[in-house]
Chain A
């Protein structure tokens, strides 16, 4: 399976769409060579604003640009893009429904070496609680490009979280993408696995493991964490015997709770949530070591599915 950089896809998409859409402007907080917004700087320097290491001012400046008709994309590490500028996002961006696009790069545990100060396990959960906010979590480089394109015409603020590491590319290039829609990428009859971001590929691997054990798993890519549509969830759980969710975030307020809160009382199925327990990350030599440590591998997902199915 070919792997590609989502960060590179993000920067390239900004350049691609910024060519004809002159309203696109990009803001960065001295991490452009990591988020890859630097590609936009090289292409259109007059529309690129280096804001220094000042995330609060960057967020609200983006709001001002949006209120004056621009489509600002601001990027830095997810933990700073969100955590350092929460009230700026809330007051300046979300309340007025400003067309700001926030890119939280190096999300989840993907910045494995830098440790807990730089790993962002709660950014998407926090953003989902803010009214008017849309939250996107791409699975691969192809979907990342489609999301950037969709953000050009979307009304209101959007948060997109980008993994630091190259990830397998497996979504189709030529199909339509729509914000707020779930995408089934593997059909199955016994268990529905709702996964997001890097965990979708792990869910695909888990489905292979389950198949070897005679269990048929359906995998649904929840790349829009918000809005989440109840009718879509109901469609995919119909006829299944168990539900598993998987996201690389703290379990409190994550994908599992979001799905459960929408279907509770209407669906009575065994339910398992693969996520990070209430704790911070830690440094490691590799991303995979961390996914193992925090219970986020295909083996964990497969085991959770079997337990939920009683097999």
Chain B
């Protein structure tokens, strides 16, 4: 990736953070932390690495992206909006009674591939889709993004075994390793040490990248896609709440609220970052 492409993807990631802030707004709770830790990854996936057909979101040869950590829906909505899959006005109506955008991913939203939000299930959905695409000899690749807190869900390890058992090399998973879950530091809530070793021992190719470096993420995805005969996992080393200083690494912003003052400060910080992108 050249510097021009990288600059463009950084600008998109910035735009996605701004969209998430717009969706949360003032005085409404929203999943800020675990959404924006994925800003760079979703910018790279949707605007660089994935097969995306903006004119036809249902193109059978598209790549699939499943957000197993469905509570980060806001960042996926932010990206789908930038792809032009639904009108911008919907962002401000997220979670409202008659709005399009549900609190967690729903098939009613163009570009959303599955219902997620009950944690631990996304990788199984990915296994099913990968099996179907392989039967159809499709060129499509399936990407599944999991959380690090989510790693305590047992079903996810069933799926990890199944993906290796079926040698699914059209499946790439991610862990958003932002080290904080709903009520505190993951290490303190429910420690799962040596995630990389665990996944490797389950038969996966595992690599770790800086989850806020667009070039590193893109290179990691490229590498993951070249792996043959087994699935690959990219661990994204990220900062929860990245982009707004007072919300970084703070568990309350897992699903937090911005008052007028904080919201203004957040906008100021994001605006300042725009100039350095």
Contacts and interface: CB of A to CB of B under 8 A. Distances in A.
B135 A64 contact: no
Contact of B127 (A61, A70, A91, A96): A61
Contact of B125 (A49, A60, A69, A95): A60
Interface stretch (A51-59, A166-174, A231-239, A251-259): A51-59
Contact of B129 (A46, A64, A87): A64
A61 B135 contact: no
A243 interface: no
B159 interface: yes
A69 B117 CA distance: 22
Given A61-B124, A62-B128, A64-B129, A96 B159 contact: no
Given A52-B161, A70-B135, A95-B106, A64 B155 contact: no
A68 B136 CA distance: 10
B129 A65 contact: yes
Q: Is the interface of B mostly helix, strand, loop or mixed?
A: helix
A186 interface: no
B37 interface: no
Interface string B104-143: 0011000001111110010011111111110110000000
B121 to A, nearest CB: 5
Given A49-B166, A67-B128, A61 B115 contact: no
A54 to B, nearest CB: 4
B270 interface: no
Contact of B115 (A52, A56, A70, A92): A92
A87 B106 CA distance: 16
Contacts of A46: 135
Contacts of B106: 95-96
Contacts of A91: 115-118, 121
A75 B4 CA distance: 52
Interface in A95-110: 95-96
A86 to B, nearest CB: 11
B227 interface: no
B269 interface: no
Q: Is the interface of A mostly helix, strand, loop or mixed?
A: helix
A48 to B, nearest CB: 11
Contact of A54 (B128, B135, B162): B162
B260 interface: no
Given A56-B158, A68-B133, A96 B128 contact: no
Given A46-B135, A88-B121, A67 B129 contact: yes
Nearest to A47: B135
Interface in B131-172: 131-133, 135-136, 154-155, 158-159, 161-162, 165-166
B155 A60 contact: yes
A198 to B, nearest CB: 33
Given A63-B114, A64-B114, A96-B107, A57 B131 contact: no
B162 A52 contact: yes
A96 B114 contact: yes
Contacts of B161: 52, 54
A70 B127 CA distance: 13
Nearest to A92: B121
Contacts of A6: none
> Most chain-B CB neighbours within 10 Å: which of A46, A49, A57?
A57
A56 B155 contact: yes
A52 to B, nearest CB: 7
Contacts of B118: 87, 90-91
A62 B136 CA distance: 16
A88 B155 contact: yes
Contacts of A25: 131-132, 135
Interface in A201-237: none
A61 B162 CA distance: 9
A52 B132 CA distance: 18
Contacts of B115: 91-92, 95-96
A54 B158 contact: yes
Nearest to B126: A64
A92 B136 CA distance: 22
Given A57-B155, A92-B115, A67 B162 contact: no
Contact of A67 (B114, B121, B135, B166): B114
Given A64-B125, A96-B106, 17 more contacts: A54-B155, A54-B162, A56-B158, A57-B127, A60-B121, A61-B124, A61-B127, A64-B127, A64-B128, A67-B113, A69-B132, A70-B132, A70-B135, A91-B115, A92-B124, A95-B115, A96-B115
Q: Which 8 A-B pairs have the closest CB atoms?
A: A64-B128, A60-B124, A68-B132, A57-B158, A54-B158, A64-B125, A61-B128, A65-B128
